[in-house]
């Protein structure tokens, strides 16, 4: 049953006489408390915050003095008391509330400065189960929600970034209703994100794949000029997941990343991470979230040039991802072509100097590569709901490849198969990828027909060959990968016509026998992976 409103209009300006400060993140808290004290505001505090303020020479009252009860149970119980919550929740203009405050000796609390135990940080650092549980804050969220609910009379601030705005409000002698509203909205968003982190951790720790309630939380990293298109609003939120990538990278130079930049850069870096640096340098070039070239080589410069050779036309204005430190020679090669973003684990001084000559070129440094095998979640919205699934962390090296044709692949063909299948995992379905000698030879993405994907990939290979002055396209003698099973033999026949001599695909079609027979007739080797990599 809904609770009826008291229908008492909120005052526009509220003078602050008493403030409660209880923070885990003590950034700027001493300076703020000093500013409050200068305004003649009484300070209440708890535990470590009280000690910090007292050590700074400020006059501060311990919460236990107003509750008449000491902190107990290692600080788990200290603010869960009517003298605290009554002071936060009382409607100041309601006679019944005022009488209750007088009867029970409850003083009004006009300002609450509260932030929470660092649960997200503990989780990100891999804290053990007991430590993580101990960092679930109880009193903090309760006080935040109480103060936020009563924002008609109480100001709640949960983010140190808002301290200066609060001080600005107090310079006028009181906080405005609009300020209190905004801070209340932010407070509830904060506790929602906090509870989201806790619930998702429990689901992960207890291996609950489909919890009854699933929420996605994030912290605003930056507002954007627009989204995928200029008429769409957008912002970038980070989840706190400790995974090297665009969300955690440092932007060394260049203008703000756009919505599309972030989406494409993430796709590029996740792809290049499939190629471990201990196995040699690798480069991936992405355009509109699809790879237009991927390659490995003895040097990073050569890997870039080989990736570019796959589709130099599409690479214009693309995203370049590298699996190892960007060096000066590679940087000099990259800046010859207009590029939007470079993302790499690091960049040496020579490379940074070269990139600096292109002030609009964004350079992102991540400090490492994401582990392709790490579990995680991906989500997308649909009308009225969320589709949530585990991250596609399957890797071809971990699969039991099954040779299904009369001819087994050669050692080189097998390596090219694995390379092509790694790339196909990151290409929008339907996906067909040709590869030869650690280099993508042609990529067909996102077609409604797999045959069309095979043909487009072959056509791009022919165009690239002409651009490089080659006698024949790299698809001749290549391996070809399909991210899902070949439903008919026609897709295989198109790949064979393009010059492919080996095929890797998941298998599992009703017509597998027909496809295998076509491969045998052409003398082509084929392996099944047993794992599909649809990507939409």
Mapped onto helix, strand or coil, the DSSP state of residue 81 is: coil
86 vs 137: CA distance, rounded Å: 20
Residues labelled as active-site residues: 149, 288
Pairing of strands 155-157, 111-114: parallel
Residue 84 · residue 109 · CB < 8 Å: yes
Return the structure tokens found at 339: 């590029």
Residue 310 · residue 293 · CB < 8 Å: yes
Residue whose token pair is 């107090």? 170
Mapped onto helix, strand or coil, the DSSP state of residue 392 is: coil
What number of residues does the chain have?
536
Residue 359 · residue 310 · CB < 8 Å: no
Helix (H) or strand (E) holding 206: none
User: What is the DSSP annotation of 26-75?
Assistant: -TTHHHHHHHHHHTT-EEEE-HHHHHHHHHTT---EEHHHHHTS--BTTT
| Helix residue spans in 39-176 (DSSP H) | 47-55, 63-67, 82-89, 95-104, 119-124, 129-134, 139-149, 163-170
271 vs 341: CA distance, rounded Å: 15
Residue among 427, 423, 263 at smallest CA distance from 341: 263
């Amino acid at each position: 049953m809904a609770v009826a409103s008291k229908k008492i209009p909120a005052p526009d300006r509220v003078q602050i006489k008493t403030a409660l400060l209880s923070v885990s993140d003590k950034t700027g808290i001493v300076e703020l408390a000093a500013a409050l004290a200068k305004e003649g505001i009484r300070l209440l505090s708890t535990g470590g915050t009280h000690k910090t303020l007292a050590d700074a020479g400020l006059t501060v009252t311990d919460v236990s003095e107003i509750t008449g009860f000491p902190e107990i149970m290692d600080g788990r119980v200290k603010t869960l008391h009517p003298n605290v919550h009554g002071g936060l929740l009382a409607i100041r203009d309601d006679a019944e509330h005022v009488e209750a405050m007088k009867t029970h000796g409850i003083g009004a609390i006009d300002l609450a400065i509260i932030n929470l135990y660092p649960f997200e940080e503990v989780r990100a650092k891999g804290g053990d189960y007991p430590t993580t549980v101990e960092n679930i804050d109880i009193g903090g969220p309760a006080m935040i929600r109480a103060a936020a609910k009563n924002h008609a009379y109480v100001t709640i601030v949960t983010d140190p970034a808002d301290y200066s705005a609060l001080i600005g409000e107090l310079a006028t002698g009181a906080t405005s209703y609009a300020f209190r509203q905004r801070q209340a909205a932010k407070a509830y968003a904060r506790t929602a994100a906090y509870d989201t982190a806790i619930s998702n951790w429990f689901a992960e720790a207890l291996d609950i794949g489909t919890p009854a309630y699933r929420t996605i939380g994030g912290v605003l990293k930056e507002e954007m000029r627009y989204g995928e298109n200029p008429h769409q609003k957008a912002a970038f939120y980070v989840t706190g997941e400790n995974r090297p990538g665009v969300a955690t990278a440092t932007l060394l130079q260049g203008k703000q990343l756009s919505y599309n930049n972030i989406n494409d850069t993430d796709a590029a870096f996740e792809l290049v991470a499939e190629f471990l640096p201990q196995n040699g340098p690798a480069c991936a070039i992405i355009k509109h979230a699809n790879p237009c070239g991927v390659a490995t080589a003895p040097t990073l410069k050569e890997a870039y040039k080989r990736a570019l050779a796959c589709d130099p036309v599409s690479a214009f204005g693309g995203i370049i991802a590298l699996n190892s430190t960007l060096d000066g020679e590679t940087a000099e090669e990259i800046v010859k072509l207009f590029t939007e973003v470079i993302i790499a684990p690091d960049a040496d001084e020579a490379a940074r100097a070269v990139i600096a000559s292109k002030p609009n070129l964004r350079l992102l440094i991540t400090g490492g590569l994401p582990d392709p095998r790490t579990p995680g979640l991906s989500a997308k919205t649909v009308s009225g709901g969320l589709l949530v699934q585990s991250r596609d962390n399957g890797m071809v090296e971990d699969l039991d490849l099954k040779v299904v044709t009369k001819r087994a692949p050669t050692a080189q063909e097998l390596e090219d198969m694995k390379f092509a299948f790694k790339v196909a995992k990151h290409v929008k379905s339907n996906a067909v990828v040709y590869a030869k000698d650690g280099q993508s030879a042609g990529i067909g993405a996102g077609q409604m027909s797999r045959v069309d994907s095979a043909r487009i990939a072959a056509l791009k290979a022919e165009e690239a060959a002409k651009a490089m002055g080659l006698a024949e396209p790299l698809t001749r003698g290549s391996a070809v990968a399909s991210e899902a099973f070949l439903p008919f033999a026609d897709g295989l026949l198109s790949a064979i016509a393009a010059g492919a001599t080996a095929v890797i695909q998941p298998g599992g079609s009703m017509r597998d026998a027909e496809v295998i027979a076509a491969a045998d007739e052409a003398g082509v080797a084929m392996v099944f992976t047993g794992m599909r990599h649809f990507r939409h």
